[in-house]
């Protein structure tokens, strides 16, 4: 009897296994489905000569067209017969797919299940209420704490892993990672690198249309490690290289750009934690021939092949004077700002610049307040940074100190402004920033104000402002209290109760006037039965 029961059990298990395999993998919502496809044909350039076209059908019967990428032998070699197909499901339930090659070669078909178990937050989008602020696809708010971990793609192990683990989830809690991508060779040649160079380069033989398979497998490792810390990646160099790249005339070859963009999209588009940057300092380096139409053309193409609509942008504001000009002229989603190569330390100026380029989109102050040799000192970085964040912008902090000749193979973490930036970001996340806007007109000249009027006012008094007479205007009742916040220590002073109620409140004296900068937080007191 036991023998028959065992036989029945074996038959049951055997019948169950094909059912599970037929359903394929189980993937978390906004995770990554992946499958390998074999093609034994020979192609001169498998990245360009052939396309693995795919159709994915969601549980609600929506259709998504996408494509795969050539992956050599599947484990890092440039030669092989392996293509990969990746996809990021945005619905829970059973998905199906089919794929075939553009020359008629058969692909495969199958299905996979998407589950809430292991779900990721999804791609970033603008907050529908105020587009300057960000939410993930799952509705979670995202306050960007950006750090320029420049060499995590180009540095050797274990340095790049240690930087990610330290700055994005370890000692510090940054969640937006800005990196270089094409410049590893240039940094090493000029002695500018802080990490030993690992030889990383995205393409082969200076050809846009031939991707370096081993290099892109390293990209996967870096993105997965960033993903494990809930970190979003922004590529400083962009799709079109001009510093550190060797594309030559291909920088203006749109067809070559399209091949590169398609292969990159197929490989890393299914990551939730990426933002597409088209090019690095495109107007200065002439990587598009100083032609906005070239930028717009590539931006439009990238958007057309991206099922998930990741953000698309381009580094620096060029000769535009408003965010509206940048977004409409270049077909990007938000502006990226550069000010005097990162040497903008004036809080009032930075606040005004954020407002100049703001509207219903994020403002990334990527190269505005950088600490380091020939850049800003810690105090200047702190003051300029407060101007950015209280102007409604996204601050990117960078450390630009000496390279290997400084005596260390790696000197990320040397910046004296690091604790100040952490205090700043923690403070911003402690207030309802997503309901606040710049209102410098409500305070005395020389100060800046970030407010949800009649509810909360955050007023920054930059260093060097000797006057104690900081006025808050248009406050017409007494149900307010004020507390001073020290941006150097993160400590609060005692609370001072409300104004005279006549529309003008001379705020209480700062704990230490003179060269110290201070912040005063004014809140309306919540009273019972009112």
Among residues of the chain, what percentage have pLDDT more than 70?
93
482-485: long-range contacts, CB 8 A cutoff, minimum separation 24: 482/507, 482/508, 482/520, 482/521, 482/522, 483/520, 483/521, 484/508, 484/510, 484/511, 484/518, 484/519, 484/520, 484/521, 485/427, 485/518, 485/519, 485/520, 485/521
Grouping H, G, I as helix, E, B as strand and the rest as coil, residue 263 is helix
Question: What is the pLDDT at residue 321?
Answer: 93
Confidence (pTM): 0.93
Q: Which letter does DSSP use for residue 315 in this model?
A: B
Question: What is the pLDDT at residue 467?
Answer: 61
Question: What does the block give as tokens for 521?
Answer: 């937080």
Interval 74-91 mean pLDDT: 97
Tokens 């990428």 identify what position? 69
Q: Tell me which H or E stretch contains 244.
A: none
Query: CA triplet 28, 34, 36: central angle to 5 degrees?
Result: 160
Among 15-24, 178-187, 254-263, which is the least confidently predicted range? Answer: 15-24
Question: What does the block give as tokens for 123?
Answer: 């791609």
pLDDT at residue 248 tops 80: no
Interval 381-395 mean pLDDT: 98
pLDDT of 270-293, one tens digit each?
Answer: 999 999 999 888 887 778 877 899
| Residues making up the chain, counted from first to last | 530
pLDDT at residue 123 tops 80: yes
Query: 463 vs 460, 488, 512, 513, 524, CA distance in Å?
Result: 10, 12, 11, 9, 27
Spatial distance between the Cα atoms of 259 and 487, rounded to a whole number of angstroms: 48
How does residue 468 score in pLDDT terms, banded at 50, 70 and 90?
low
Among residues of the chain, what percentage have pLDDT more than 90?
74
Torsion of CA 293, 295, 297, 301, to 10 degrees: -170
Question: What is the pLDDT at residue 21?
Answer: 31
pLDDT at residue 526 tops 80: no
The CA radius of gyration of the chain, in Å to the nearest whole number, is: 26
Spatial distance between the Cα atoms of 130 and 275, rounded to a whole number of angstroms: 20
Query: CA triplet 421, 145, 138: central angle to 5 degrees?
Result: 155
Between residues 231 and 286, the one the model is more confident about: 231
pLDDT at residue 421 tops 50: yes
How does residue 527 score in pLDDT terms, banded at 50, 70 and 90?
low
Instruction: Report the 10 Å Cβ neighbour count for 413.
Output: 13
pLDDT at residue 407 tops 80: no
Between residues 497 and 184, the one the model is more confident about: 184
DSSP assignments along 138-183, one per residue:
TS-EE---EEE-TTTTTBPTTHHHHHHHHHBSSSSB--EEEE-SS-
Beta bridge partners of 28: 115
Query: 526 vs 138, 228, 476, 478, 523, CA distance in Å?
Result: 32, 40, 16, 12, 9
Which residue, 457, 424, 427, is CA-closest to 440?
457
Interval 484-513 mean pLDDT: 85
């Amino acid at each position: 009897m036991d023998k028959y029961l065992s036989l029945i059990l074996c038959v049951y298990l055997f019948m169950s296994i094909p059912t599970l395999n037929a359903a394929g993998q189980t993937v978390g919502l906004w995770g990554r489905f992946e499958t390998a496809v074999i093609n034994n044909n020979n192609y001169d350039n498998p990245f360009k000569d052939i396309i693995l076209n795919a159709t994915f059908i969601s549980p609600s019967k929506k259709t998504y067209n996408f494509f795969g990428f050539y992956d050599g032998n599947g484990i890092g070699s440039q030669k092989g017969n392996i293509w990969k197909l990746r996809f990021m499901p945005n619905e829970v339930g059973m998905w199906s797919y089919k794929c075939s090659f553009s020359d008629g070669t058969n692909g495969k078909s199958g299905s996979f299940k998407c589950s809430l178990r292991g779900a990721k937050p999804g791609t970033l989008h603008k907050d529908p209420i105020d587009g300057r602020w960000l939410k993930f696809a799952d509705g979670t708010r995202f306050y960007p704490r950006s750090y320029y971990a420049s060499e995590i793609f180009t540095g050797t192990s274990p340095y790049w892993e240690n930087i990610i683990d330290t700055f994005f989830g370890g000692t510090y809690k940054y969640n937006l990672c800005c990196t270089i991508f094409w410049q590893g060779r240039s940094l090493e040649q000029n002695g500018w690198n802080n990490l030993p160079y690992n030889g990383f380069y995205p393409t082969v033989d200076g050809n846009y249309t031939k991707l370096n398979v081993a290099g892109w497998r390293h990209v996967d490792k870096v993105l997965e490690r960033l993903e494990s810390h809930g970190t979003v990646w922004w590529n400083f160099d962009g799709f079109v290289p001009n510093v550190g790249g060797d594309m030559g005339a291909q920088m203006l070859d749109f067809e070559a750009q399209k091949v590169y963009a398609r292969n990159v999209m197929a490989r890393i588009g299914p990551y939730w934690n990426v933002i597409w940057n088209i090019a690095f300092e495109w107007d200065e380096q002439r990587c598009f021939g100083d032609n906005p139409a070239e930028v717009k053309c590539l931006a439009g193409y990238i958007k057309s092949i991206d099922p998930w609509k990741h953000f698309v942008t381009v580094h620096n504001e060029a000769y535009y004077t408003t965010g509206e000009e940048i977004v409409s002229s270049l077909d990007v989603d938000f502006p990226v700002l550069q000010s005097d190569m990162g040497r903008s330390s004036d809080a009032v100026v930075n606040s005004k610049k954020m407002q100049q380029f703001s509207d219903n989109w994020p403002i990334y102050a990527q190269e505005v307040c950088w600490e380091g040799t020939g850049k800003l000192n810690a105090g200047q970085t702190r003051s300029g940074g407060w101007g950015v964040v209280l102007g409604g912008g996204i601050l990117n902090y960078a450390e630009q100190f000496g390279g290997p000749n400084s005596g260390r193979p790696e000197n990320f973490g040397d910046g004296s402004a690091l604790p100040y930036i952490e205090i700043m970001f923690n403070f911003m996340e402690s207030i309802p920033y997503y309901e606040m806007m710049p209102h410098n007109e409500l305070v005395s000249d020389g100060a800046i104000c970030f407010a949800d009027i009649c509810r909360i006012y955050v007023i920054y008094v930059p260093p060097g402002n000797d006057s104690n007479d900081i006025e808050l205007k248009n406050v017409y009742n007494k149900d307010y209290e004020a507390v001073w916040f020290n941006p150097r220590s993160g400590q609060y002073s005692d609370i001072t109760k409300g104004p005279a109620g006549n529309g003008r409140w001379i705020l209480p004296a700062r704990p230490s006037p003179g060269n110290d900068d201070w912040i005063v937080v004014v809140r309306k007191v919540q009273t019972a039965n009112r």
